[in-house]
Amino acid sequence: MMLDALPPTTVARLELASFSRGGSVILRNIHLDLLRGQTLALVGPSGIGKTTLLRILAGLEDGYSGRVSVEGRVAVVFQEPALLPWRSLRDNICLPTGATRDAAEAMLAEVGLAGRSGDFPGQLSLGQQRRVALARAFAAAPDLLLLDEPFVSLDAALVQDMMDLFLKLRDRHRVATLFVTHAEAEARYLSDRIIRLQGSPASLAPLSAIT
């Protein structure tokens, strides 16, 4: 949704007065800007509303008061890779993004899956499927990238590989990123700024900068 023109470096602006679910206020008074080429990490305890905030930015939630302004395309990477099992890796990228076959294969090569474009998701490990999900997100040439715990349950070496891969793609595509994580070490490694959600999930959840 685009309501007002944003400053040129601002890809998305959230001005949330409140969001309620099941009669409880989950989020209140959250204002943030996401800037081109920058990564904002969102941390906080389980159940506080991190995914909800990300979903509001993605346009997947209504029922909030306030406004969300986004300039351009949005791509989301959830915890689960959410690939179509009956489609090849190439089709998993081309169909949702409109990328050409060549572009999809080039993106798969970028994430270390050269020559695998005709394979199916079931032939891949979870870590490899996550790479495809990241490739699919960047193939959409997003202006705003929303990552919801994309490295959870991967081993430490693979997390490091995935984080370095993300940094390479982010810098090339100059995307604005919101990165939701429990892992503050990941947040520090990847982001320009870290923000934390605090407070009871059933009441106010003010946001405060910690870096």
150 makes contact with ligand ATP (CB under 6 A): no
Q: In the range 161-180, which residues lie near ligand ATP by CB under 6 A?
A: none
In the complex, what is the shortest distance from the CB of residue 157 to ligand ATP, in angstroms, rounded to a whole number?
24
146 makes contact with ligand ATP (CB under 6 A): no
26 makes contact with ligand ATP (CB under 6 A): yes
The Cα 76–Cα 53 span in angstroms is 13
Bridge partners (DSSP) listed for residue 152: none
* Choice between 24 and 123, CB closer to ligand ATP: 24
Interacting span for ligand ATP (CB under 6 A) from 45-53, 62-70, 103-111, 121-129: 45-53
Bridge partners (DSSP) listed for residue 14: 32, 68
48 makes contact with ligand ATP (CB under 6 A): yes
The Cα 99–Cα 180 span in angstroms is 26
52 makes contact with ligand ATP (CB under 6 A): yes
Residue type, 191: S
* Choice between 48 and 83, CB closer to ligand ATP: 48
* CB-CB neighbours of 209 under 10 Å: 9
Could you tell me where the DSSP H helices lie in the chain? 50-58, 89-97, 101-110, 126-139, 156-173, 184-190
Closest CA to 154 of 102, 80, 210: 80
| Residue 34 near residue 178 (C-beta atoms within 8 A) | yes
Q: Binding residues for ligand ATP, how many (CB under 6 A)? A: 13
Interacting span for ligand ATP (CB under 6 A) from 42-50, 69-77, 120-128, 188-196: 42-50
* Choice between 48 and 58, CB closer to ligand ATP: 48
The Cα 70–Cα 108 span in angstroms is 28
* Choice between 172 and 182, CB closer to ligand ATP: 182
- Binder among 46, 63, 115, 208 for ligand ATP (CB under 6 A): 46
Tokens of 147: 């990552």
SS3 37: coil
Positions that interact with ligand ATP (CB under 6 A): 21-22, 26, 44, 46-52, 182, 201
